[in-house]
Amino acid sequence: MRIWLSKNSEVPLREQLATQIILGIVSDDLKPGQKLPSTRELARRFDIHANTVSAAYQDLDRRGWVEFRKGSGVYVCELNVEALADPKLALDQLISTLFQVARQRGHSLHDIQARVKHWLETQPPDHILVIEPDEEMRSILIAEIESATGFRVAGAGLEECSRTEALAGAAPVAMYGQADKVRAALPPGASCILLRLRSVPASLQGQERPSPDSLVTVVSRWPDFLRWARTVLAAAAIDPDAMSFRDARERGWQKGLASSAMVITDAVTAALLPTGLPAGCRTRVFRIIADSSLDELRRFKDFLAKPLA
């Protein structure tokens, strides 16, 4: 196992040494039962004080990573299952993998340190940027993400997202169906979280089925939502004659809603409905974004919100 120690780092040499040995163990570079170099050998190799090496080994011994064998030296302990379950060790393993891959591709320790330093010093995103060419669809995605995450959300078309300044402080997201167009529009090296469409079964799950003679009205400002809702309702075996579809951009779209047992709409149009619906008319919001994608965005927000240790 190769070990790098930087005397110019803010991290103490003892901690650098201990951490790299742990990474060697969790990545299987150092095998259980393998003998480690002696305190004197490491001190001479890196031109550091023997007490520094001794302190690192003692720390690892206390934490169960190595063991001292009297008269023989320091050896790697067997890695137990409980240790692997430690989230911090899982992170160590990821970091170890990063170093291994970087070395295999010819990157030096200086390269790795410089890029990691750059990423850590880069200001983290303070909002999500929805990239979607269709303005009405973009509004719906923004509303759903804001409701699910509580994070600040903005929107942009393809031309806007090609400008670097539009991405400042933003975490770009887009629907899978727009992946190629969005990637082509983004500046080189810019990343983007891709969102999945909510499936028909997921849209119907837990929904109360309307009675056969009930009129179901779908209202939206986005024509594709009307088509998507038609597919969902058809999958639910709703009689086509029992469905009515209204474009909320047209004048008089509220006319006749009193005869509807249920109004299905999107997250944006739902905000407009309370003032335009007859009393007693039930509203159900069909979401566009899959639950798995919303969960991913929540985890992303939590990741950004966690303070540095």
Looking at the structure, tell me whether residues 138 and 191 fall in a common domain. Answer: yes
**Of the candidates 143, 166, 198, which is a domain's last residue?**
198
Would residue 291 count as lying in a domain? no
Question: What string of DSSP letters covers the chain?
Answer: ------TTSSS-HHHHHHHHHHHHHHTTSS-TTPBPPPHHHHHHHHT--HHHHHHHHHHHHHTTSEEEETTTEEEEPPPPHHHHT-HHHHHHHHHHHHHHHHHHTT--HHHHHHHHHHHHHSPPP-EEEEE-SSHHHHHHHHHHHHHHH---EEEE-HHHHTSGGGGTTEEEEEEGGGHHHHHHHSPTT---EEEPBPPHHHHHTTPPPPPTT--EEEEES-HHHHHHHHHHHHHTT--GGGEEEEETTSTTTTTTGGG-SEEEE-HHHHTTGGGTSPTT-EEEEPPSB-HHHHHHHHHHHHHHHSPP-
Would residue 293 count as lying in a domain? no
Q: What is the mean pLDDT of residues 130-148?
A: 92
Would residue 3 count as lying in a domain? no
Q: What is the mean pLDDT of residues 171-187?
A: 88
Would residue 245 count as lying in a domain? yes
147: tokens are: 């409701």
- The parent domain of residue 270 ranges over 200-285
Would residue 298 count as lying in a domain? no
> Does the structure show a pLDDT above 80 at 21?
yes
Q: Around Cβ 171, how many Cβ atoms within 10 Å?
A: 20
Would residue 87 count as lying in a domain? yes
Side by side, the strands of the sheet bearing 153-156 are 153-156, 127-131, 170-175, 193-195
Tell me how far apart the alpha carbons of residues 143 and 129 are, in angstroms, rounded to a whole number.
12
> Does the structure show a pLDDT above 80 at 168?
yes
**Please, which pLDDT band fits residue 189 given cuts at 50, 70 and 90?**
confident
* Lowest mean pLDDT across 121-125, 200-204, 230-234, 245-249: 200-204
Does residue 27 or residue 218 have the better pLDDT?
218
Does residue 91 or residue 278 have the better pLDDT?
91
Would residue 6 count as lying in a domain? no
Looking at the structure, tell me whether residues 111 and 150 fall in a common domain. Answer: no
* Lowest mean pLDDT across 33-42, 165-174, 202-211, 294-303: 202-211
Q: What is the mean pLDDT of residues 196-216?
A: 68
**Please, which pLDDT band fits residue 309 given cuts at 50, 70 and 90?**
very low
Residue-level pLDDT at 84: 47
**Please, which pLDDT band fits residue 130 given cuts at 50, 70 and 90?**
very high
Burial class (CB in 10 A: 0-12, 13-18, 19+), 269: buried
**Please, which pLDDT band fits residue 235 given cuts at 50, 70 and 90?**
low
Q: 255-296: per-residue pLDDT in tens?
A: 887 788 788 888 888 877 655 555 556 778 888 888 889 999
Does residue 264 or residue 92 have the better pLDDT?
264
Looking at the structure, tell me whether residues 42 and 76 fall in a common domain. Answer: yes
Looking at the structure, tell me whether residues 115 and 23 fall in a common domain. Answer: yes
Domain count, the chain: 3
* Lowest mean pLDDT across 61-75, 228-242, 279-293: 228-242
Residue-level pLDDT at 28: 67
At 48, which CATH number?
1.10.10.10
Residue-level pLDDT at 241: 81
> Does the structure show a pLDDT above 80 at 88?
no
Residue-level pLDDT at 82: 47
Looking at the structure, tell me whether residues 182 and 240 fall in a common domain. Answer: no
Residue-averaged pLDDT of the chain: 81
Is the Cβ–Cβ distance between 243 and 213 less than 8 Å?
no
Looking at the structure, tell me whether residues 33 and 102 fall in a common domain. Answer: yes
Would residue 220 count as lying in a domain? yes
Residue-level pLDDT at 85: 46
pTM strictly above 0.75: no
